[in-house]
Structure 1
Amino acid sequence: MSTSPIGIDPIPAAANAVQMAELGPEESPYFNRELSWLQFNQRVLAEACNPAYPLLERLRFLSISGSNLDEFMMIRVAGLVGQVQRGFDTPSIDGRSPGQQLAAIREKLAELSAVQQTIWRELRASLSKAEIHIADEERVSAEAHRWLGNYFRNEILPIITPQALDPAHPFPFVQNEGLGLLFTLTRNATGEQLIEMVLIPSALPRFVRVPGEVTGASGGSGGALYISIARLIQRYAGELFPGFTIQGDGLFRVLRDSDIEIAEEAEDLVRTFRSAIQRRRRGQVIQLEIDEDFDAAAEALLLDQLGINEAALIKTDGIIGVDGLAEIVREDRPDLKFDAYSPRFPERIREHDGDAFSAIREKDLIVHHPYESFEVVVDFLRQAAADPDVVAIKQMLYRAGSQSAVVNALIEAAEAGKSVTAVVELKARFDEEQNLHWAGKLERAGVQVIYGFTDWKTHAKVAMVVRREAEGFRTYCHLGTGNYHPVTARVYTDLSFFTADPKMGRDVAKMFNFVTGYVEPHALERLHIAPIDLREEIYARIDTEIANVRNGKPAAIWMKCNQLTDEGVIDRLYAASNAGVQVELVVRGICCLRPGIAGLSENIRVKSVIGRFLEHSRIYAFANGHPMPSAEAAVFIASADMMGRNLDRRVETLIPIINRTVHDQVLQQVLLANMLDSEQSWWLHPDGSYSRVAVEDGKAFNCHRYFMTNPSLSGRGGALEAGAVPKLSLRRGAVA
C-alpha cells in the first residue's frame, strides 16, 4: 500500500460525477423508496458480473441478490399488496399510490429476474470450465448415474410424499419459500389422467453433490458434480410413480407475506410472537415462480388453489430459487474465492496482556469489524463474566445468531452470581424464533430478561459492565453500529466503541432504565437516543452548518449510512445545499434524496459502496466551522439510519466521538476512505440511475483493501508508529 496521499474532488468541481438537472413541474423531489431498493439490488447483481472477482464470489453475489429479492417481496411488496386490498391510498414519499408502486415494481422485477437468469447461464458455463458441473437435465456418467439413483432411493424416496389432486384429496398447504413439483400422469392400466403434487421438504438440500472426484456433465473426468434436488426427483420420478406414464412435470416456488404485525394492546408479548410466527408461515401468497414450460392445466390449478390475485407470477427457463445457489458457493475451491482473510486483534489490547478493562480504562478504543476481530467484543463480556470484581452486566440483543458466544458469556456471568440483565428484541425480523430461544435459555440461567417496548423496536447495540475498583464503581460501555452476531461480524463493516467515560456510563445506565422500566432519561450528558432526541440532534447539527456558511465559516456535512428515506432529514439536507453547505453522502442502499438538482441539491452528491464486505456502519460528521476533515469536526457513530422508523419508532443511539485518536480514526480513516473509494463505488444521478465511479489515470482506491492491509489508528498500540497507517487526504482541486 502506497503511503502517498489520495485526493478527491470538492463538490463544485464534480460535474463529471453528478450532472446537474432541473426538476420538472410534475417531478417529485424524492425518489421512491421501493424502486430505490430495487436499484440497490441491481448493484448487488452487477457484482456477479464483476470480472475482478473470483468465480464463486460472483456466484455468491447472484445468490445474495436472490435472497435480497425474496425478503423484499415477503415484506415490502406484501405490505403494498395489503394496502391495495384494504383500499388504502396513502401516497409514498414521491406521491405514488400503493397500486402505482406495485405496477412499477412488477415491471422492474421482471427485468431483474431475466437478468438473474442470464447471469446464471453465464456463470454456469464458467463453472463447468472450472470443473464444477451442475447436471440438471444433462446426461451424466454411468458412475454418477448409479450414485444418484441410489441416493434418490435411499435418501429422498422415503421422505417425499406424492399427493393426488382431486376432490378426495384437498390441495395441500405450501409453506413460505416452499418448493414443489406437479406431475401430469396417465395410469397405464386404465388411461386415467391425474395430477400429482410432490412438496420438497425444507430439510432437504437444494443441491445434491456427487461425492469425490467424478466424471462431469461435460464428459471430462474430475471436478465436482451437483444436481438440484428438484431435478433429481424429476430424473427418477418413474420410481415414484410405477405403473404410470409421466406426461409432464413442472417446478414451482411460493413466497408468502412474512411481515409480523403486533397489536399495541398485546398482553403477553412472548405468546403473541409465538402465534404470529405460526401465522407468518401461512401468510398470503405474494409471488409464484414456475418453470416456463409448466403444464397449462397444472398452472391453472396452482393459480386457482393458491389464490393468486395481487401476487407476482414469474415464469423462467432457468433456475427457480436463486438464493439456493449459496450451497454451491460452499464448494471447497479456494482458487475460486477471495483470498482468506484473518481479522487482526487490536494491538492495544495485546499490550495490556489481553485485559480489555485495562486497555479501555487507559483511553477510548474503537474496533473496526470485520478487519478487527469480533472476539474483542466477546472477550470483553467473557472477562466480565469471570472477573470477581464485576458486579453487574447489562446487554441489549437485537440479533445474536444461532451460535452466540455473547449469550453464553451472559449465562456464565449469571451462573457466577452476577446481576445480569438482557434486553432481547423479539421484533428482529426473521430472528424472532432464535431470539425467543435465547430468551428462554437466558431466563433459565437466572438472567433478568426484558422484552422492551411493544410498539418500538430496541435496535440499539449497547452493553455495560459495572466493576468494583479501588476508586469506587466504574462503568465500562460497549456501543456499536452492528449486531452482537459472530457470523455477520465477519462480513459486515461495523464499529465497536469501548469507553469508561463516566458521563457515557451514566447515560447508558439511564438508557437501560428507559427500556426496562420506561423511565424516560433526563439530563443526558453524552448520548442521544431515539425516539427522544436523536432526530433533534441531527437537525440541530445540520442547522449549525447552515448558520456557519451564512456567517462565512467553512461548512460541510459528511454522512455514511445504509438507508436515507426520512423526508424531514432530506428536506434539511436540501436546505443545507441551498445555503451552500457541501454535502457528501455515502448511502449503501435506499436513497430517496435526489442529488444534483439545480435549486434543490446542487451541492449534494451521493455514492454507494458495494464490495467484498457489506458496508453497515453509520457515521455522521459535521464541519463545525472548520475545513473538513479536521479535529474540530463534530463526529458521531450510530445504530440508526436516516429513516423515519429509526428516528421515531425505534430505540437507537447516536454516540459522539470525543477522544482524539478515535475521532481521527472514524473521520479521517473510516469515513474518508469510503468517500475516496473508486473501485467499488457508484454515483447516484438526478434521474435515480447509478453508474460506476470512473477511475482516472489508473489511480484506483479500494477502501476494503486499505482496511485489510493497514492497522486502525486507535487499535494499533504503541508498538506501531503512526507512519504505519497511510494517511488519506482530501485535496482541493482535481482528483490526485
Structure 2
Amino acid sequence: MQERFFNRELSWLEFNARVLFQGLNKELPLLERLQFLSIVTSNFDEFFQVRVAAIKRLLAENPNFVDVSGLSPQMVYTSVSARAHQIIRSQQECLMQDILPALANQGLTYVTPMQYSQPQSDYLNGIFNSEIFPLLTPLRTDTEAFPHIKNLTTYAAFLLAPIAGIKKSAGAEEFRGSEDAPRIALVEVPDGIRNIYWLSGNNGAGGRGGQFALLQDIVTEFGTKLFPGFEVEETLLFKVTRDADFAVDEDAGKNFIHAMEDVLIQRKSSFPVQMTCNSSSTKIQKFLMEMLELAEDDVYRVDQIINPGDLMELREADESGEMSFESWEHFYPADLPEEEPYWDTLKLHDKILHVPYESYDPVVKFISDAADDDDVLAIKMTLYRTGHNSPIIDALERAAQRGKQVVVLVELKARFDEERNIAWANELEQAGVTVIYGLVNLKVHAKILMVIRRESDTIRRYVHLATGNYNTKTAKLYSDISLFTANPQIANDATLFFNLVTGYSTLQNMNCLSMAPVTIKSRLIAMINREIERSRPENPGLIIAKMNSLTHEEVISALYRASQAGVRVLLNVRGICMLVPGLEGLSENIRVLSIVDRYLEHSRIFYFQNGGTPELYCSSADWMNRNLDRRIELMFPILDKAAFEDVKSILDTYFADNARAMELQANGSWLPVVRGKKEDVVRAQEVLYKKYKELEEKKPTAGEKKFEVRRK
C-alpha cells in the first residue's frame, strides 16, 4: 500500500538530485554546470551536519521510532546513505569525465601532481616554500589524544616511514608507532588563501588561463618537507562533517548570548557524522575511520577534488563570459522615484518588489531615507540573516545616532549565522539601537520593517513585508517578493506584531496579517476548507501555492481532502515535498512541480480562488512544521489591485515553465516536464527577466517630455 507521506530526508535528497540534474545539463554554460556541482556539495555539508546527525541521534536514543512515512531511523539512515552515495558518484563522474575535460577544451586544464612537468614542479615548490609552508602545522596521531579535526576543513594525511640510515633526534625517536599503529600525520590545508595556482604549459608560472594546480594537491605533493628524516609512503585528502544540530539553552536569560556562543564552540568539537576523502590510501582511510568512529556507510570517496567549489575561482579566467550565464541586470523599479523618498508614492498605492530581477536598492533606500528624514520618529524591524558590510545596518545605526527610536529584533538562532548576528547585535547596541534577542523557544523568521513618520499633525506608518531576508547580497541571487505599503490596516497589525514580540502584549486579533505559530496554520487550513465548500463540478476550486518546502502533515491532509472534493491543487515546491501526488482517490487532482535555475527560488506565494473572489498571500513561512508551529512568521495579503495582478502573473509564470521545471511522481521520482515544440519552450526565470527588462526600456529617458491626458 502506498504511504500517504514521503520521508522528509529522502525527499530532500531528491532536491539535491535536481540540483545535480542542472550540473549534468549540457545545455548550460560550463562554469554554471560546475557551480551546480559545487552547490550539491555545500548542500550535502549542511544536510549531514543537521539532518543526518539528527538521524544518528534518534537511532541511538529511540531506534524503534517510526515516522509518518513508515520508516524507522535505521531504515532512513540506510536509504539516505545509499542515495547520497549514488548522487555523489554521479556528481564525481560528471566532474571528472565531463566538466574537467570540457574545461581543458576551453584552455583551462587541471594538472594533477603526477602530471607536473619539472618546471611546473619547481615553480610550485617555490610557491609552497614562500606562501604555504609557513601556514602549515603537522599534527601527530600517535599521542594519547587524537588531534581534533575541524568541521568541514580539508586535511592532508601522510603515512610516514623513517628513512633508513638517518640518525634520529630524541623527538623523532619517540615518533615510532608500532606494527599495529601506523605512523600518520595530519596537516590542515590552509583556508583564506587562493585554491588555484596558474601554470603556463610546461614552463611554470602563467597568467589566468591555461593549466592550473590546486592548493590541496600542492600541500600533499610538497608536504613531505614537514617531516625531515621520514619518507611519505601514502597520502590522503579528507574532510570531516560534524554534528551541528544543537539547540541553545532557552532558559539562559541575560546570559543568552553566552549560551549561544557555547553552541558555536560545541559545533566545532561535536561528534563526526561523515567523512569525504579521495581513494589514494586505504590504510589511512581505515585508520581515520577507526579514530573517528565512522562506519563504511559514513565514508564518501571522491576521485581527487574534495571541494568542487574550490574550482569556482576559474570564473576569473572566463573573461569573455562564454562559460557563464549571460549577465542579467537588476532593474530599478519603473514606478518608484529614484531621487525622492517613497512616502508620497506609497500613500497612493502599494508597491511590489520582485528581486533579483528588480534591484534591492529600494529597500536600502527606504531604510536610509527613514534614517535621514527629520520627520521620521521611529524604525522597527526584524533581522534574521543580514550579510557582511550591510548598508541596512549602517542606516539603522545612523538613525539611532540621529536620535530616532530604533528597535531591532535580531534572531541569534539563525543557524550558521549565529556568530555574525551576535556581532551585529553588539554593534547596533553600541550605536544606541534597542536590540531584542528573539523569543524564548521560538525562532523569529518573519521579515518586517515599519517606519513611523510625523506628517501634517498626524502620524503615518509605512510597512515593508517580505518573503526573504534583509540581505543585500542574497537579494542578487534569491528570488523573493516584498511589499511596500501605507495601508492603515496592515500598519495597525504591524504595530500589534512589534508590541507582541518586544514586550508582554498578548496576541490581539489582526485584520490582515496572520502570524505563526498562532494563526497562519489555522488560516491556511480554513482557506483550504473554504475552497472545498465552494468548489462545484462545473466550477472546481483552485489552490495555487509556491514555497520552498512542504512537510506539515495537517496541511497536507487538508490538501488531500481538497483533492478528493475536486479542488485543483497546483504546487510549486523547490525543495522537500512529503505530499504524494497522483494517488487515485486521494491526490489525483494535485500536481507538484519544482524549478531549479540560475536564481534560488525562495518566494512563498499562496492563491485561493475562493468561489470567484480570489485571495492572494505572500509569506516568510513554508508549509513546514518548524515554520507553522515553532517559529514567528508572517503571512500578508496582497490587497492593492495592481499589486495583486503583478504577483498573480508571477505565480502563473512559474507554472508555465517547461524548460527547468520537473514534476513529482507518485513513486517519489522527479521527471522533467514534457516540452512541446521548440518555440513553445517557456523558462520562467527568463520570461520574468525579459518582463522587467521591457519595463526598464519603456522608462522615459532623462529630459524626455511626458505627455499627460487631462480628464474631467
Partner of 2:52: 77
Out of 662, 671, 688, which is 1:707 matched to?
Answer: 688
Structure-2 change in CA distance of 1:441 and 1:715 (3 Å) = farther
- Which amino acid is 2:110 matched to? I
* Most deviating of 590-599 and 321-330: 321-330
Is the Cα–Cα contact under 8 Å of residues 120 and 205 in structure 2 kept in the other structure?
A: no
Q: 1:600 to 1:99 in 2, by over 3 A?
A: same
Task: Report whether the alignment pairs 1:671 with 2:641.
Answer: no
Quote the Cα distance in structure 2 between the aligned partners of 1:615 and 1:553: 31
Post-superposition Cα deviations, 1:380-417, rounded to whole Å, max 9, x if no partner, equal 00000000000000010000011211111101111111
Partners of 2:471 and 2:312 lie apart in 1 by 20
Name the counterpart of 2:710. none
Match of 1:727 in 2: none
Greater RCO structure (CA 8 Å; 6+ sep): 1
Of 135, 153, 157, 1:159 maps to 135
Evaluate the alpha carbon distance shift between residue 436 and residue 116 of structure 1 in structure 2; reply closer, same or farther with a 3 A threshold. Answer: same
- Equivalent residue in structure 1 for 2:99, among 107, 120, 123: 123
Does 1:290 find its partner at 2:265? no
Residue 103 of structure 1 aligns with which residue?
A: 78
The equivalent residue for 2:660 is 680
AA in 2 matched with 1:681: A
| 1:260-279 deviation per Cα after TM superposition (whole angstroms, max 9, x unaligned) | 21233222211100111011
Structure 2 counterparts to residues 53-64 of structure 1, below 5 A: 53-64=28-39
Q: 1:217 to 1:566 in 2, by over 3 A?
A: farther
Q: Secondary structure at the match of 2:441?
A: coil
Letter aligned with residue 42 of structure 2? S
Look up the match of 1:340: 327
Q: Give the match for residue 557 of structure 2.
A: 571
Q: Distance in 1 between matches of 2:536 and 2:422?
A: 53
Structure 2: gaps spanning 5 or more residues: 167-175, 702-712
Residue number in structure 2 paired with 1:174: 149
Question: What secondary structure, in the 3-state scheme, does the structure 1 residue paired with 2:235 have?
Answer: strand
Task: Label 1:275 to 1:417 Cα distance change in 2 as closer, same or farther (>3 A).
Answer: same
C-alpha distance in 1, partners of 2:269/2:691? 49
Q: Equivalents in 2 of 1:219, 1:323: separation in Å?
A: 23
- Paired with 2:160 and 2:299, the residues of 1 have a C-alpha distance of 25
Distance 1:386 1:220, change over 3 A: closer
Shift of 1:170: 3.3
User: Whole-Å Cα distance in 1 between the matches of residues 296 and 340 of structure 2?
Assistant: 57
Q: 1:147 touches 1:210 (CA, 8 Å); kept in 2? A: no
Would you say 1:689 and 2:669 are equivalent positions? yes
1:487 aligns with 2:470: no
CA contact (8 A) 2:160 2:185 kept: no
User: How big is the shift at 1:244?
Assistant: 2.3
- C-alpha distance 471-597 of structure 1, shift in aligned 2 (>3 A): farther
Deviates more, 1:195-204 or 1:176-185: 195-204
Q: Which residue is equivalent to 1:472?
A: 458
Give the Å deviation of 1:92: 2.2
CA contact (8 A) 2:462 2:486 kept: yes
Please give the alpha-carbon distance, in whole angstroms, between the structure 1 residues aligned to 2:695 and 2:377. Answer: 28
SS of corresponding position for 2:54: helix
Q: Supply the AA of the counterpart residue of 1:86.
A: E
SS across alignment from 2:570: strand
Which letter does structure 2 place at the counterpart of 1:38?
L
2:196 alignment partner, SS class: strand
Do structure 1's residue 49 and structure 2's residue 24 form an aligned pair? Answer: yes
The 5 A counterparts of 1:613-624 are 613-624=599-610
1:555, 1:718 → 2: CA distance? 39
CA distance in structure 1 between the aligned counterparts of 2:523 and 2:202, rounded to whole angstroms = 61
Report the 3-state secondary structure (helix = DSSP H, G, I; strand = E; otherwise coil) of the residue aligned with 1:69: helix
Does the CA contact (< 8 Å) of 2:378 and 2:451 recur in 1? yes
User: What code does the residue aligned with 1:683 have?
Assistant: E
2:668 and 2:250 map into 1 onto residues whose CA distance is 37
* d(CA) in 2 for partners of 1:527, 1:286: 41
Which amino acid is the alignment partner of residue 271 of structure 2? Answer: Q
Superposed CA offset, 1:93-127 (max 9, x none): 21211121101101101101111110111101111
Residue type of the alignment partner of 1:690: W
Amino acid at match of 2:9: E
Letter in 1 for 2:676: E
SS in 1 for 2:145: coil
**Deviation for aligned residue 1:714:** 10
How far does residue 199 in structure 1 lie from its aligned partner after superposition?
Answer: 2.6
Alignment pair present for 1:440 and 2:426: yes
CA–CA distance in structure 1, aligned partners of residues 205 and 92 of structure 2: 25
Task: Report how far residue 282 of structure 1 moved.
Answer: 0.6
What's the counterpart of residue 112 of structure 2? 136
2-structure distance, mates of 1:449, 1:492: 27
For the 8 Å contact 1:565–1:593, the answer to whether it is kept is yes
CA distance in 2, matches of 1:186, 1:712: 65
**Aligned match for 1:456, one of 433, 442, 451:** 442
The CA RMSD over aligned residues, in Å, is 2.3
The amino acid that maps onto 2:20 is L
Equivalent pair of 1:174/1:199 in contact (CA under 8 Å): no
Task: Report SS of the residue matched to 1:52.
Answer: coil
1:593–1:53 distance in 2 versus 1, CA, 3 Å = same
**2:515 touches 2:635 (CA, 8 Å); kept in 1?**
yes
Equivalent residue pairs, number: 684
Deviations 1:37-66 (A, max 9, x none): 000000100111112211111100000011
Letter in 2 for 1:644: N
* Equivalent-residue separation in structure 2 for 1:596 and 1:69 (angstroms): 29
Deviations 1:349-401 (A, max 9, x none): 13x74422222222100100000001110010000000000000001000001
Contact 1:65/1:323, CA 8 A, preserved across alignment: no
Q: Secondary structure, in 3 states, of the residue corresponding to 1:255?
A: strand
Aligned runs of 1:16-415 on 2, under 5 Å? Answer: 24=1, 27-121=2-96, 122-167=98-143, 170-190=145-165, 195-205=183-193, 207-210=195-198, 214-215=200-201, 223-267=209-253, 268-296=255-283, 298-308=284-294, 312-333=298-319, 334-350=321-337, 353-415=339-401
1:664-697 CA deviation, whole Å, 9 max, x = no partner? 0111x21000000111100111101011111112
1:639-670 CA-partner distances (Å, limit 9, x unpaired): 00000111011011110111000000111x21
Q: Distance in 2 between matches of 1:137 and 1:221?
A: 20
Cα deviation 1:228-285 (Å, max 9, x = unaligned): 2221012213333333222111111100001221233222211100111011011110
Using the TM superposition, give the Cα deviation of residue 219 of structure 1 relative to its aligned residue in structure 2, in angstroms.
Answer: 13
**Gapped runs of 5+ residues in structure 1?**
1-23, 627-631, 721-736
Per-residue deviation, 1:289: 1.8
Tell me: CA distance 1:88–1:360, structure 2 relative to 1, closer, same or farther (3 Å): farther
Change (3 A) 1:436 1:219: closer
Change (3 A) 1:718 1:345: closer
Of residues 508, 529, 538, the one that matches 2:524 is: 538
Q: Is the 8 A contact 2:573 2:592 kept in 1?
A: yes
Flag the 1:311–1:472 CA change in 2: closer, same or farther, 3 A.
Answer: farther
Structure 1 letter corresponding to 2:450:
M
Secondary structure at 1:57's aligned position in 2? Answer: helix
Once the two structures are overlaid, the 10-residue window that deviates more, 612-621 or 230-239, is 230-239
Once residues 653 and 115 of structure 1 are traced to their aligned partners in structure 2, the CA distance between those partners, rounded to angstroms, is 39
Distance 1:202 1:510 in 2: 50
- Aligned partners of 2:331 and 2:696 also within 8 Å: no
Deviation at 1:90, TM superposition (A): 3.1
